[in-house]
Amino acid sequence: MLRIDDLVVRYGAAVALDGVSLHLEAGEMVALVGPNGAGKSTLLNAVSGLVPPASGSVTCEGRIAQVPEGRQMFPDMTVEDNLVLGGWSVRNRDLGEVLDLLPDLVRLRKLKAGRLSGGQQQMVAIGRALMAKPDLLAIDELSLGLAPLVVAELAEHLRFLNSERGTAILLVEQEVSLAFELCPRTCVLEAGRVVAAGPSAELAESEAVRRAYFGDLGVSDELMAGFAGTEVHS
């Protein structure tokens, strides 16, 4: 449903993405991992249409909604208003479906979004994106700054969304263990290029990938051992 072919994105003279290709099937969950500055967020913004490609193409059959890095609330507005505005592009003002999916939001709806905790804001950000009735949810840093328990709960919501609604998910994630656990397929970016891609379980096992691309993320052997229930061969 999403085809990214030979995508090049430049910021002035700097090349942020250098010939990236990635295909997503309908209902698929794919993680994008890689070190800081690898171009993960740029790729997501290009998919969302916020950044124009210098060359190459991004085509998507269906609607895309983004859960941006840092949650990006409308802080002085209520949760309800934040959600309602999420449906702006499709003129969807009916909160019912989103509140069914994320029932925690019901008791928060009258509160100002700026006053919520990080986890609650992330929930609002996901709800706001869902208001656009997306076929593909592009999530930038689900876990950033959140407690593990909160992240686990959010991940559960995403799994449910994917299995029940068939919403495809493209997840940019620094927390590699979360990315591997949640998404069956992973794409590794470095310096604007795809350096490895494939089933998350295989990538988690791959010593080369681990050394080359996750070593600098400070991922310990114990953590790696937890990925997809596989052992790390040292």
Partner 1 sequence: MKDFLTYLVTGITLGASFALIGSGFVVVHRVTRIVNFAQGSFAIIATMLSASLLRGRLPHGLAEAAAVLVCGVVGAGVGWVALGRRGTHPLISLIVTLGLSILASAVIILLWGQDPVSPPGLHGHVTLLGVEVERQRLLVLVITLLAFAALALFFSRTYLGKALTASASNPYAARLVGIDVRRMGLLAFALAGILGGLAGVLVAPSNALSFSSDLALALSGFAAAVFGGLSSPGRTLVGGLLLGVAGQLTAGYLNGSYQTTVALLLMLLIMIARSRTFVAEEAK
Q: Which residues are at the interface with partner 1 (CB under 8 A)?
A: 48, 50, 66, 68, 72-77, 81, 84-86, 88-89, 93, 128, 132
Residue 136 or 188 having the CB closest to partner 1: 136
Query: CB of residue 193 vs partner 1: minimum separation in angstroms?
Result: 26
Least Å distance between CB 39 and partner 1? 19
Q: Closest Cα partner for 207 from 30, 196, 190, 21? A: 196
Cβ–Cβ under 8 Å, residues 143 and 172 = no
Of 50 and 152, which CB lies nearer to partner 1 in the complex structure? 50
| DSSP secondary structure letter of residue 232 | P
CB of 88 or CB of 216, closer to partner 1: 88
**Cα–Cα distance list, 220 to 215, 217, 232 (Å):** 8, 9, 10
| Token pair belonging to 228 | 């997809």
Q: Using CA atoms, how far apart are residues 201 and 177, in angstroms rounded to an integer?
A: 11
How far, in Å, are 69, 89, 163, 165 from residue 103 at the CA level?
A: 23, 23, 18, 16
Please provide the DSSP assignment of 73-103 as one string: --TTSBHHHHHHHHTGGGT----HHHHHH-G
Closest to partner 1 by CB, 27 or 74: 74
Cβ proximity to partner 1: between 101 and 219 the closer is 101
Q: What is the DSSP letter of 67?
A: E
Is the CB of 66 or the CB of 143 nearer to partner 1? 66
Q: How far is the CB of 50 from partner 1 (least distance, A)?
A: 7
**CB 90, min distance to partner 1, A:** 8
Order of all β-strands in the sheet with 55-60: 14-24, 2-11, 55-60
Q: Supply the minimum distance, in Å, between the C-beta of residue 110 and partner 1.
A: 13
Nearest approach in angstroms of CB 131 to partner 1 is 8
